[in-house]
Each structure stands twice: as C-alpha cells, then as structure tokens.
Amino acid sequence: MTEKIIRAKEGPIVIIGIGPIGQMIAAFCHQAGFELMLVDKLPYERIVSHGIETEGVYQLKTPPLQVYHSMEEIPCKEAAAVLISTKAQALRNIAKYLPTILDRSVPVIVAQNGLDPERWIKSEMPDFSCARLVINIAGGIRPDGIVHFAWSQPPNYLGISEGNVPEWISTFADKLTSGGMQMQTTNTIRFYAWRKVILNAALGTICAVTGQTMIDCVEDSDTYKIMSTLLDEGIAAAKADGYDMGEGFKEKAISYLQAGGKHKPSILLDLEKGLSTEIDEWNGRIAEVGVSYGLPMTYHKILTYLVRAMERNNRRK
C-alpha cells in the first residue's frame, strides 16, 4: 500500500508520556520553537508550576507547562504531530484509542525502546503516517522532579524502514536539531532500532536482575561474560534478519555500554518501583525474531524469563 503523503504543517506537538525521555524531547521541542501539549496520567506538578528542567549532559529549561490527563482534553486535530514516549507496553492500548480522536492528517512518532514497537501503531492505524524515533540519550528523574541526563551518544535517528523519507519527518528533524537535539533522518530506521535494542538487551536486563549499575555489570567478570554472550546472540539475530552490524560492532558496543557509568537503566528502575517492564520488547522480541530463523537465543530467553518472574513477584507483594 502506498503511504498517504503528509505535508509538514504548523501546530503544536502533542507528547504522550512525559517521563524523563518525554520531558527531554519536550524541552528540545520548546527550544526549537514548537508549541507543546503534554499528556500523562500522572500530575507532574513541578512541570505545571516551574516547567521542565534538566541537568547533566543537557541543561534545558521551559516555562511552566500545562499537563493534560486525557487525550480527550486536547484539540488533537490541530497538532503538527503526536509523539508517543510512554513505555512500550502501553502502545497497544494507545494505538487502539488514537484513531477515535486523531485526524488522519496528523502523523505519529513512536519513541519507545525495543524492536518494532511501531508495529502496534501500524496494525491499529494503517491509514496514518508513522515514524520511529531512536534516541541515544539516557537519564532519569530526580526526587525533586529535575531530569538528570547521564549520557548522550548522538545522533538520534528519526525515520521509516523503506521508501523516501516524508517531508514532515525531515522538517521535524531539522527543527529539533536547531533546538539542540542532534537528529538524523533515515529510511533504514530498523537498522538503528536493531543496534539500540541489542545494546539495551545486552546490559539493561543484567542490571535489572542483579540490581547493579551499568558500569558495575561491565566491570564484574561474571556479568561481563553474560553481556558478551547476549551481544553475540543479538548480533546473530540481527544478521539473520538482514541487518549486519558490521565489523568491530561488538567492541564498539562494549565501549558504548561502559560509557553508561553509574547509570541505572530504565528496566531496573521499573522493577525497583514495582512496575511492569519493556522486557517483551527487548530480550523477548530479540529472542522471538532469532528463534524464527532457527537460532537458539538461550541467554535472551533466560533473561526474559527471569525479568518476567521478577515482575510477577512484584505483583504478589
């Protein structure tokens, strides 16, 4: 099916989900001159009273912003784009609801971690233009509500999996870059999604199971061996799927993960808070794809089972 041509247009950016990544994107959008409409079920009183503030790699500040608690509260048809930065596991329900309130001329940007989270949007919203955003920035929200960004490895990628990059994607990426968020557009976004999910799944889930920070897991001889095997499995699955990570990727990946320092990945923070995780979109999805090509994916399966068991244990408390 030929994708409907969507032209770039003026209007606010609707951001659904304003955790650390949603707030970071919102702050860059503000610097780029976009009007913002923020949606989240949590109150985020600091954003309403003081605005978004970040520290660390990026020092950003916005004026006080309104936070809507339902999509029904905002005029979505006026939006230039809707950007979804919730956890990946929320996408199915969002994808079922959005078509009831969103005009088909409004494009959707999926900013989740994992492999192919946009498939939920495409399955429920086939008539909408959809792009994937792969973000190479990590951080968290401090107890006082300020967002701390521990590290950044630009560029960040916005695009589609095939065909010509639509005008609206190029326009949005250029504006974000002008606001300080280094962007690159691509029509091979799945390559970058594979690269990111291999990295997340190789270390994030080990941190989740052990309770250690990224650098602690890299420097521990036993968890290092597990990380190394997870990288091997992920690289093999990607190659079987048609995405060769290239010569020397494993060594570069280890250096990249070491740069995470004392950062706790989001999947560990979710478990510590008793929340569900993105495990099925990380190791679970990699295992699913790898198995479809006849690969055993033993370590990815084991880590998936362990994190799922920890989620169930949290629910029993």
pLDDT tens for 194-228 read: 999 999 999 999 999 999 999 999 999 999 999 99
Question: By the 8 A CB rule, do 124 and 154 touch?
Answer: no
Cβ pair 269, 87 in contact under 8 A: no
Backbone angles phi, psi at 157, to 5 degrees: -115, 135
Query: Is 140 strand, coil or helix?
Result: strand
Block residue for tokens 């990699």: 286
- Judge: domain 191-312, CATH 1.20.58.710: no
The DSSP bridge pattern shows strands 156-159 and 130-134 to be: antiparallel
Contact 184, 155 (CB under 8 A): yes
Instruction: Tell whether the model's pLDDT for residue 138 goes beyond 80.
Output: yes
Q: What is the pLDDT of residue 260?
A: 82
**301 pLDDT more than 80:** yes
What are the extents of the domains in the chain?
13-187, 191-312
Indicate if the pLDDT at residue 8 is higher than 60: no
- Express each pLDDT in 102-122 by its tens digit: 888 899 999 999 999 999 999
Outline where DSSP puts E strands in 29-94: 36-39, 54-56, 67-68, 81-84
- Which ranges constitute the DSSP H helices of the chain? 20-31, 45-50, 91-97, 119-124, 167-178, 189-210, 214-219, 221-240, 249-258, 266-272, 283-292, 298-316
Q: pLDDT, tens digit, for every residue of 232-259?
A: 999 999 999 999 999 999 999 999 998 8
- Whether 178 shows a pLDDT value over 60: the answer reads yes
Token representation of residue 261: 């320092």
Mean pLDDT of 284-289: 98
Cis peptide before 155 (omega within 30 of 0): yes
Question: In this structure, which topology does domain 13-187 adopt according to CATH?
Answer: Rossmann fold (3.40.50)
The tens digit of pLDDT for each residue in 24-75 reads: 999 999 999 999 999 999 989 999 999 999 999 999 999 999 999 988 888 7
Q: Do β-strands 36-39 and 67-68 pair in parallel, antiparallel, or remain unpaired? A: parallel
Q: What angle do CA 8, 14, 15 make, to 5 degrees?
A: 120
Cα→Cα distances 201→60, 119, 151, 252, 278, Å: 29, 19, 18, 15, 10
Q: What is the pLDDT of residue 150?
A: 83
DSSP state of 118: T
Predicted confidence at residue 3, as pLDDT, reads 45
Give CA 212 to chain center in angstroms.
Answer: 21
Three-state helix/strand/coil letters over 194-246: HHHHHHHHHHHHHHHHHCCCHHHHHHCHHHHHHHHHHHHHHHHHHHHCCCCCC
- Whether the CA torsion 227, 259, 145, 15 is positive or negative: it is negative
